[in-house]
Structure 1
Amino acid sequence: MGTAKRASSRVRGVPALTLLCAMAILTAPGLVTTAHAAPAAPAAPSAPAAPAPEPEPGTKSLEDIHQEIEGLYRQAGTATDAYNLAESETKAQSARIVEIANLVVAGQDRISTLKQRAGSAARAQYRSGGLPPGAQLALSDSPSDFLDGTGRLRQGEKATTDLLSELSRTQFDLERYAKDAGALWQKMEENRVKKEAAKKEIEDKIKAAEALENRLRAEEKARLIQLEQEAQYKAQTQWLSTGAMKDVKGSATDAGKRAVQFATAQTGKPYVWGAVGPDSYDCSGLTSQAWLAAGRAIPRTSQEQLRLLPKVALKDMRPGDLIIYFDDASHVGMYVGDGAMVHAPRPGRNVTMAGAGSMPIKAVVRPDA
């Protein structure tokens, strides 16, 4: 987790677009407003920046490096979702194994009780001498007592049959529990392998992206951040120009307001893959914890949030809804109103607010449908 430690020590800078979005949203009543101003362009530096040196022949341009770094972090995000899914499945399987263990203990106790009852019945039959009914009638001093005893004997035989049936069912249940537990252990091992593979991929991609950044000079790193802001500004501007926000007037529910308040309160905390707070988050860690704070448990990963939560049309979007990004649903943010969302962007960045259309939108889902 060296990457996580490095991420947590980075300067928590907030782009100009973030500040403007935050001001527009947080000053609106109930964090909701139907107005949505066009995004502000990235702020110009206070002093003229020195021009970036021309790349040497055969070397990559800064724009190419920016695209490569963003691609690496996107791949790390996809692997993070795979890691988180395997982690959540492992937790569910572990909980189920504990349940099965409790059922096995209860079943074993039940078998012990049934065997004691069966032994008592056998001893009672032994005391009767095990004589056939005809012989018992011939030896009996009172036919009426014999007939009464025969009735009780038949009742006892039925009870014994029922007891043996229950014993058989309980033993069958124990065998089934053993099979279920074995299957769960197998799945847990498969998930462990998936987690290890995803973890390695995440760390490799982040390491490669950081290596690219570390080779840049200070002015190139500043220009890289500017390129990132410009790309977000351009995407948000194009999105708004389509009229996407024209009919978006939904109001947040009480639970939605609580989720938004929780998510926005995390602004400035670092992105750490696999993290669910309270000091750091990944993208779906932030959204799942925000809704948990609002009183509703939702799936842990962005892909499962897309798969299991009800989808809503963009025009019906309201604060608290989750916006799923990219074709592989590898990123998620929470809509907060005024055409903006809050999210944990990627390693090296902090929880922040940005334009809701600053990345390709795949779907909008509603945790409190």
Structure 2
Amino acid sequence: MSGRVVRGVCAVAVMGAVLAPGTAGAVPGPPGGEPSVAGLLTDLQDLYRQAEEATEAYNATEEELKVRRAQAESLAEKLAAARGSLHGSRLAAGRLAREQYQGRSDISPYVRLLLARDPQHALDQGHLVLRAARDRMATVGRLTGDEKKADALATKARAALDEQLRLADARKKDQDAVRGRLRRVEELLASLSPERLAELSRAEEAGTAVAQRAFMASGALSSVGRAPSKAGGAALAYALRQIGKPYVWGAEGPGSFDCSGLTSQAWAHAGRRIPRTSQQQWASLPKVAMDRLRPGDLVVYFRKATHVALYLGRGQVVQAPRPGSRVKVSPIAANPVLGAVRPDPEAKAMTGYRPPPLPRGATAGDDTGYDGG
């Protein structure tokens, strides 16, 4: 997809409430004429939203596939060890069978024990007989146990392989869905003249400005500047170092990122592993009230939690916006806000914190946004 074409348009238009956006339909243009700018913007927003939903579905499937692959590799190692042990047990059982076969015409060791004239010698022989019997029982027991263990591991290994194949197929379908939706975006943008693209960009910028003013005036954010935790500050510093790197769906660094790839990697570099996708981050991390936000917290967007950014402070976030854009600093209301989560709720805020200086061009470029969610 042409990054130059996509970057010519910014898809931010907040129709309705900022914290609880509704679903707006495309605004039709004059009968027989071109679609209105508002209608085009709504269509574009919807396409980008669908693309990001498909991207997060792909990311979730990819993460599950990684887990299943690791499980399958572990099972394969255990199965190889079990088969090696089983082979040893079978060799031991074979030796036992040969010994019994070769000595079957001899007088039973128990009979020899009973006929022995020397009591002490008989007692010693008895110990040997008992030990030999225990060894034979242990050999048979190991063989039986190894066979059961190998059979169980083989069943699990086959199931793990089947699950890997299923997930690989699902990943391919998710991948095709992302590409299909982005292709529709490209087709829509390619059909517009430079003048229409400029109109869309101006409408989008105006929508962002209105949404941000409304959000800040709503009192949703505290007017008191808060300090991050030590880990939150480290995560934020990592995110700021990525400014200017391109958005690529499914990417989690180091050269490119998608939205949740940036947030998960930022916190990983701060020493705390968090889920890979924005939906998993929203579902599993502790919620934090918007008026309690501190830098490093994650701001989640849209009703389906399909976009995420790191809170910078002063009503701004660091985010990887969308295909064709780059990691940047954006207004918090560039997208319809769902809520926020905090990866380290137990950690105390730093003392003597000073907001980091922003790199040159940190706010330049397009912000993403989709109407509804």
Contact 2:8 2:198 in 1 (8 A): no
SS state at 1:270 partner: coil
Distance change (3 Å), C-alpha of 1:130 and 1:10: farther
Match of 2:26 in 1: none
The answer to whether structure 1 residue 366 and structure 2 residue 342 are counterparts is yes
Distance change (3 Å), C-alpha of 1:200 and 1:306: same
CA distance in 1, matches of 2:289, 2:128: 71
1:221 equivalent among 177, 191, 197: 197
Q: Give 2:215's aligned amino acid.
A: W
Distance change (3 Å), C-alpha of 1:56 and 1:220: farther
CA distance in 2, matches of 1:368, 1:159: 56
CA distance in 2, matches of 1:252, 1:165: 60
Match of 1:109 in 2: 84
Between structures 1 and 2, the one with greater helix share: 1
Match of 2:208 in 1: 232
How does the TM-score come out when normalised to structure 1?
0.80
Match of 2:258 in 1: 282
Alignment: residue pair count: 327
Q: Give 1:334's aligned amino acid.
A: L
The answer to whether structure 1 residue 99 and structure 2 residue 69 are counterparts is no
Match of 2:154 in 1: 178
Match of 1:167 in 2: 143
Matches within 5 A, 1:1-369: 3=1, 6-7=2-3, 57-122=32-97, 131-132=107-108, 135-246=111-222, 249-369=225-345
Deviation at 1:144, TM superposition (A): 2.4
Contact 2:8 2:201 in 1 (8 A): no
Contact 2:300 2:307 in 1 (8 A): yes
Deviation at 1:330, TM superposition (A): 0.7
Distance change (3 Å), C-alpha of 1:162 and 1:314: farther
Q: Give 1:59's aligned amino acid.
A: E
SS state at 1:332 partner: strand
Q: CA RMSD in A?
A: 2.7
Residues 55-106 of structure 1: per-residue CA shift (max 9 Å, x gap): 6744310110011001000000000011111111112211111111111111
Structure 1 residue runs of 5 or longer lacking an equivalent are: 18-53
Structure 2 residue runs of 5 or longer lacking an equivalent are: 13-28, 346-373
Deviation at 1:216, TM superposition (A): 1.6
Match of 1:38 in 2: none
CA distance in 2, matches of 1:11, 1:205: 13
SS state at 2:334 partner: coil
* Paired-residue identity, %: 35
Contact 1:323 1:363 in 2 (8 A): yes
SS state at 1:357 partner: helix
